[in-house]
């Protein structure tokens, strides 16, 4: 599959490298066609990897991964160009974190709205699927880093888009039973609002090697 990865940070390079390793054709997009980080990533990721502008990557990919920062997401999509986003699935991994007041970050949007919803509302051309934003990027692409069962949430309005993203998650190694479809894109508020406890757990543990698991009773308790 042809996939565009928006963003050159640790999330973008990790996701992009894994997709290329799995045999997908991956173009990393950034503000500049000559971005040095993107060029270095493409060099390291091998023959399945290339890079270009946000617009190049949006044109290239059937599926796009939004690996930009929370504040960078809408600007990146604007640079990608509305005409290049038509019909694309956008896997939105971003979190609307505000580090301007230091640690812990707050959220720039939450409670009655979410970044996932804002992206979907701004770009109705996209099929936004919010997922993977509740864990470290190493865990996103290799769930076996954390022992046993643990959860990845999905939110989005388009059932077929969610099904295709679930297939990609299965390629990453996720077991189907650990994928939880929360519902439409408005449910993205929930996973985005997990970040405040995530950052405190990171503080308490001193590392990001954890994930949330939703454990269900097998039978209805009396």
| Integer Cα distance of 45 and 23 in angstroms | 11
**Based on CB atoms, which residue is closest to a copy of itself, 107 or 128?**
107
Both tokens of 25, joined, read 């054709």
Please identify, among the stretches 30-38, 59-67, 73-81, 181-189, the one whose residues bind a copy of itself according to the rule CB under 8 A.
Answer: 181-189
What does the per-residue mask of binding to a copy of itself show for 67-106, with x meaning CB under 8 A? ---------------------------------------x
Binders of a copy of itself among residues 99 to 128 (CB under 8 A) are 106-107, 110-112
| Integer Cα distance of 141 and 121 in angstroms | 28
| Integer Cα distance of 56 and 199 in angstroms | 34
Helix (H/G/I), strand (E/B), else coil: 96: coil
- Half-sphere exposure in the Cβ direction for 70 (13 Å, CA): 19
Element (DSSP H or E) covering residue 181: strand 179-183
| Integer Cα distance of 108 and 192 in angstroms | 11
The verdict on 200 binding a copy of itself (CB under 8 A) reads yes
150, 152, 166, 172: which one binds a copy of itself (CB under 8 A): 150
Please identify, among the stretches 14-22, 41-49, 119-127, 200-208, the one whose residues bind a copy of itself according to the rule CB under 8 A.
Answer: 200-208
Smallest gap from residue 101 Cβ to a copy of itself (A): 8
83, 86, 149, 167: which one binds a copy of itself (CB under 8 A): 149
| Integer Cα distance of 132 and 57 in angstroms | 20
Answer whether 160's CB lies under 8 Å from 154's CB: no
| Binding residues vs a copy of itself (CB under 8 A) | 106-107, 110-112, 138, 145-150, 153, 180-183, 187, 189-191, 193-194, 196-201, 203-205, 207, 209-218, 220-221
């Amino acid at each position: 599959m042809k996939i565009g990865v928006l963003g050159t940070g640790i999330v973008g390079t990790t996701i992009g490298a894994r997709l290329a390793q799995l045999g997908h054709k991956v173009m990393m997009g950034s503000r500049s066609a000559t971005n040095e980080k993107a060029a270095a990533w493409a060099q390291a990721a091998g023959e399945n990897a290339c890079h270009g502008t946000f617009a190049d990557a949006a044109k290239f990919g059937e599926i796009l991964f939004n690996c930009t920062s929370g504040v960078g997401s809408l600007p990146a999509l604007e640079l990608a160009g509305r005409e290049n986003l038509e019909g694309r699935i956008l896997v939105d991994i971003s979190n609307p974190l505000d580090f301007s007041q230091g640690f812990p970050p707050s959220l720039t949007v939450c409670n009655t709205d979410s970044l996932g919803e804002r992206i979907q509302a701004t770009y109705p051309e996209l099929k936004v699927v919010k997922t993977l934003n509740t864990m470290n990027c190493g865990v996103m692409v290799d769930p076996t880093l954390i022992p046993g069962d643990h959860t990845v949430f999905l939110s989005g309005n388009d059932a077929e888009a969610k099904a295709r993203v679930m297939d990609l998650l299965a390629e990453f190694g996720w077991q189907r039973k650990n994928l939880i479809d929360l519902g439409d894109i408005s449910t993205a508020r929930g996973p985005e609002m997990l970040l405040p406890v995530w950052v405190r757990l990171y503080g308490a543990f001193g590392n990001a090697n954890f994930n949330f698991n939703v454990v269900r009773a097998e039978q209805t308790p009396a």
